[in-house]
Chains A and B, each alone.
Chain A
Amino acid sequence: MKPPLSDPEMAAAATGIVPSIAGRLTLMLTLVLTIAATGTIIAAYAYGRTAATRAFDRLLTGAALQISERISVVEGETVVDIPLSAFGLLSLASEDRIFYRVLDPVGATLTGDEAFPLPDEVRAGDAQMLYDAEFSGEPVRAILMRRFLAERSVRGPVTVIVAQTLRARGELAREIVARAVIGVVIAGFLTLVLAVLALRLALSPLDKIERAILARDPKDLTPLSTDTPREVAALVAAINRFMARLDRRVGAMQNFVADAAHQMRTPITALRAQTELAMEEEDPRRLRVLQRRIRDRAMGVSRLTDQLLSHALITHRADSATLERIDLRRVAMEAEREARRTGGASRIDLDLPSDPVFVTGDAFSLREAARNLINNAVAHGVPPIMLRVSADLEAGTASVTVHDHGPGMDADRIARIGQRFVRTATDPRSAGLGLAIVAEVAQFHQGSITTGSDSGGRFTISILLPLDADQSDGSDADDQPREETVVVFPTQPSQQGTGN
């Protein structure tokens, strides 16, 4: 059985584990330092080799010079007197083997190792030349030095070759590299430690913000007042904006609940009072009037409840619903069906185009908006009522319009579309929420509400929505001919009558 997750673990599980900024920076720094250190070590190795080669080449040169100085011509013969000091000099590389060879101008070996190799090519002008060779199973470094003899009997260059194995050079190079490596490793490590400390320091404002958020009262939605560095100011500002929005949303919700409670209480109180009156009334005629009033009041309450819930739902969906590609014709058909079933609409004509009208939006919200428009027309307008969907490809808008034969809304009401609880004082059945819902849906779909009258002088009220750029429905072939006629769906006559 798994142990219960602790808070940070739960947070990690919820957000997915991303390496911390400090971790990333440390990793990058380590990488950069490693590359730098490797480069330094390679450079040190090259330098060490060069330095060792130079140092010991000087020994070779010195020894060759000493030997060449001791070449003389005695009684017509070239004589070499190898000085001890030359070998003493070479013995400074104490573990290295030494080879030498002296050749006379003709090329005959005067003394030394006859087999010791000459360089592949010797430029005639050079008095001395250093070269690498291999002798008796080991690589060697050699110098070839020439001294020109100009005696009566001997004339020409005498060649002195001195060579030694590379052990001391290798050791010196290794020593130089080892020191460099130690230095680089220590410096790198110190740099890393200091860098990590600096990182901690630099990232401390983030910790401060984290602590400030964690320490906060859950109900506290005021902006964070922590001083923040420039780099995270945007983040903090975003958090603050989010909290402000949340604050507004919560405030609106609370207002709405308070309003709704108030709005519900009045009609229910009235309903109770009328019921009590009816119980005491004995005159059947007056009783009948009371009963009708009670029924109207009850319908009003029912409608109010319906709209309140619808409004709450839509407000919620505006925040959370995922938008999808929908056909407004389908929305209209469903809204019409729903309006007939729930509210007293007797007959609604549907006017739908033959091509689909696609918008991006939330089907439920749009259906609620359409239903509210219909209900509004049923409640306040004059039948026959028509629901129409149209697309204006040029303007890029789609519209859902309700036509009725009533006088329409006065200017004052039109101006107040969108406000809640704007109702006709004389009509107990009006909840005053219908147009508020429509306005809210239009707003959250980046649309608008327009009112007007059509060519037949009928009052119209429409929701205008941005049309999807792509209107092909993607499934059926476009070349299929469509009927351009307006389809009117006859509906059943209302059983309850129009009431109003």
Chain B
Amino acid sequence: MAHRSTATHSVATTIALALAVAFGALTGGAGAATETRFAARADDPRTLVIASVTDLDFMRPLIAAFQRQHPDIAVTYVEDTSNNLDAAVTTACNGGRFIADLVISSSIAQQVRLVNNGCASPVQSAIVETLPDWARWRGELFGLTYEPAVMVYNKQAFAGQEPPKSRFDLIDMMRQTGRLDGRIATYDIEQSGVGYLFAFQDAAEASTWGRLMEGFGRNNVRTFCCSGDVIDLVASGEALIGYNVLGSYALARALKDPRIGVVLPSDYTLVLARAGFVPKPARDPLAARAFLELLLSADGRAILNGDTRLLTSLSGPSALAAINEGEDTAFRPIPLSPALLVSLDRAKRSRFLSQWRKSVIPPNP
């Protein structure tokens, strides 16, 4: 379902646009891309097409800031699920067809694969040099945010007691009490690219992963496609704990919703940098570069550090340490490197998922 604003430049269209976006967000189901157009304040404008899995609400302030700088550039924002986006970009790349000027996805393994397959063109800009090494690859793929994998908990349920602070706490809690039975939620790693990535990194990072899967299986873990669903469930009290939720969503939600609390696991906290690249067949790579430069500029960083809590690789560690109330946390950013390709290996993936299924989904009686 596509919503295209044939906008001229007036306040009325802007309002209409907002309505259209709201409608799109409501009705945009799985398998359908949502397209939103932000008109430029100029006749015959250039158009920057951004394809992304990020919720538009997170991107809106950035797009607004971008258009303040570049009023002559219209922005078309295409939102889709990570797998759909990856498939669409792969097809377009193989066929040498245009799909977007900028592709931003939290499914960074897939992003690395696209770049590895030669789908990206390098971005020549001094500002990308400010990124740490782990957050950039080949001068083509850039980690733009700093989003931890967190645990969310229902504050009311843990009133008067400590929520689990680490995976060990969580494992103990799952083993020792029946309290979490059917009341723990996490990603469906078969459906969600980010969920799979976090799980895969967990497995590589520590031996706790096997025990976690065992606990999930014993406690009838509930799995969802998206972070929002997990958070909703925890907020409502139906689930007490959500594991490996994308921190940006959780933190942004916690600001508004007093029912949920956020824990950065103290044994280690995975950090994901949403990655963007400019595809080779981009129509306006200069506009795409300008958008990347805005994201990495002081203005862009300020927006990312704001309400969206997407954070940046520079501000992330200190901002998160503050949230964690002084608890010592080991941040493990997932480097943008071809090592991520291993997680996408067909054989590897099917084995990993079958292991997951065996542990987590109890055989139906």
Please list the residues of chain A having a beta carbon within 8 angstroms of any beta carbon in chain B. 79-84, 86-88, 90-91, 94-99, 110-112, 136-138, 167
Contacts and interface: CB of A to CB of B under 8 A. Distances in A.
Contacts of A137: 118
B348 A81 contact: yes
Interface in B153-212: 204
Interface majority SS (helix, strand, loop, mixed), chain A: mixed
B338 A81 contact: no
B117 interface: yes
A98 B115 CA distance: 10
Contacts of B346: 111
B137 A87 contact: no
Contact of A84 (B117, B133, B342): B342
A94 B140 CA distance: 13
A167 B118 CA distance: 14
A420 B38 CA distance: 124
Given A81-B348, A136-B118, 6 more contacts: A79-B351, A84-B342, A87-B341, A95-B139, A97-B138, A111-B346
A323 B337 CA distance: 93
Nearest to A98: B338
Contacts of A84: 204, 339, 342
Nearest to B204: A84
A497 B118 CA distance: 125
B11 interface: no
Contacts of B117: 97, 136
A111 B341 contact: no
B84 interface: no
A97 B347 contact: no
B116 interface: yes
Nearest to A110: B347
B120 to A, nearest CB: 10
Contact of B338 (A80, A83, A97, A110): A97
B129 interface: no
Nearest to B134: A94
Contact of A80 (B138, B337, B341, B347): B347
Contacts of B137: 94-95
Please give me the 9 A-B residue pairs with the lowest Cβ-Cβ distance, nearest first.
A136-B118, A87-B339, A98-B338, A111-B347, A91-B337, A82-B345, A97-B116, A137-B118, A95-B138
A112 B339 contact: no
A84 B343 CA distance: 8
B339 A111 contact: no
Contacts of A96: 138, 338
Contacts of B133: 94
A442 to B, nearest CB: 94
Contact of B337 (A86, A94, A112): A94
A98 B341 contact: yes
Contact of A88 (B116, B138, B339, B347): B339
Nearest to A78: B347
A381 B339 CA distance: 127
A301 B100 CA distance: 123
B351 A98 contact: no
A78 to B, nearest CB: 10
B281 to A, nearest CB: 13
B198 to A, nearest CB: 15
Nearest to B117: A136
A211 to B, nearest CB: 62
Interface string B324-336: 0000000000000
B118 A112 contact: no
A91 B351 contact: no
30 contacts: A79-B347, A80-B345, A80-B347, A81-B347, A82-B345, A82-B348, A83-B342, A84-B339, A84-B342, A86-B342, A87-B337, A87-B338, A87-B341, A87-B342, A88-B339, A90-B338, A90-B339, A91-B339, A94-B133, A94-B137, A94-B337, A96-B138, A97-B116, A97-B118, A97-B138, A98-B338, A110-B347, A111-B346, A111-B347, A136-B118
B269 to A, nearest CB: 20
Interface string B233-262: 000000000000000000000000000000
Given A84-B342, A88-B339, A138 B348 contact: no
Nearest to B139: A95
Nearest to A95: B138
A464 B270 CA distance: 119
B345 A111 contact: yes
A82 B339 contact: no
A138 B118 contact: yes
A95 B138 CA distance: 5
From A94, A96, A99, residue with most partner B Cβ within 10 Å: A94
A94 B339 CA distance: 10
Contacts of B118: 97, 136-138
B138 A82 contact: no
A137 B116 CA distance: 11
Contacts of B339: 84, 87-88, 90-91
A167 B204 CA distance: 28
Interface string B123-162: 0000000000100011100000000000000000000000
B138 A112 contact: no
B136 to A, nearest CB: 10
Contacts of A88: 339
A99 B204 CA distance: 21
A137 B122 CA distance: 14
B245 to A, nearest CB: 24
Contacts of B345: 80, 82, 111-112
Contacts of B115: 97
A81 B351 contact: yes
B260 to A, nearest CB: 34
Contacts of A83: 342
Nearest to B335: A91
A95 B141 CA distance: 11
Contacts of B139: 95
Contacts of A110: 347
B65 to A, nearest CB: 31
Contacts of A138: 118
From B137, B138, B347, B351, residue with most partner A Cβ within 10 Å: B347
A78 B346 CA distance: 14
A88 B339 CA distance: 6
A165 to B, nearest CB: 9
A112 to B, nearest CB: 7
A428 B176 CA distance: 160
Interface string B342-357: 1001111001000000
B333 to A, nearest CB: 15
Contacts of B342: 82-84, 86-87
Contacts of A91: 337-339
From B139, B337, B342, residue with most partner A Cβ within 10 Å: B342
B280 to A, nearest CB: 9
Contacts of A82: 342, 345, 347-348
Interface string B46-66: 000000000000000000000
Contacts of B348: 81-82, 111
B108 to A, nearest CB: 14
Contacts of A136: 117-118
B89 to A, nearest CB: 15
Nearest to B343: A84
B86 to A, nearest CB: 16
A367 to B, nearest CB: 94
A70 to B, nearest CB: 10
A252 B348 CA distance: 114
A90 B342 CA distance: 12
